[in-house]
Amino acid sequence: MVRAVADWWDAVELWLTQLSFVFQVVLAVVVVLPLCWGVAVGVDRLVDRVAALVDARVAARRAGRNQ
């Protein structure tokens, strides 16, 4: 299975390197830019959720101490 994936990746890499520079840049912008944007949005949402959980726990501990 790993060998098949490696062979596929080698074929894609060979195809990509044989394209002209302009097409490589266009392909990178069309594929990599949205992918990076999606990862950034996902990380942002994850960090927001973790921060909200931490804030809720800190607030609960402070409320418990004040009683």
Please determine, for residue 31, whether its predicted confidence score (pLDDT) is greater than 80. Answer: yes
- What percentage of the chain exceeds 90 in pLDDT? 82
Q: Model's pTM, two decimal places?
A: 0.63
When pLDDT is averaged across residues 11-22 and rounded to a whole number, the result is: 93
When pLDDT is averaged across residues 3-19 and rounded to a whole number, the result is: 93
pLDDT-derived band at 67, boundaries 50, 70, 90: low
Sign, CA torsion 42/43/48/50: positive
Cα–Cα distance between 27 and 40 in angstroms, integer?
20
Q: Scan for tokens 């195809």, then name that residue.
A: 15
When pLDDT is averaged across residues 43-62 and rounded to a whole number, the result is: 95
Domain boundaries, the chain: 2-66
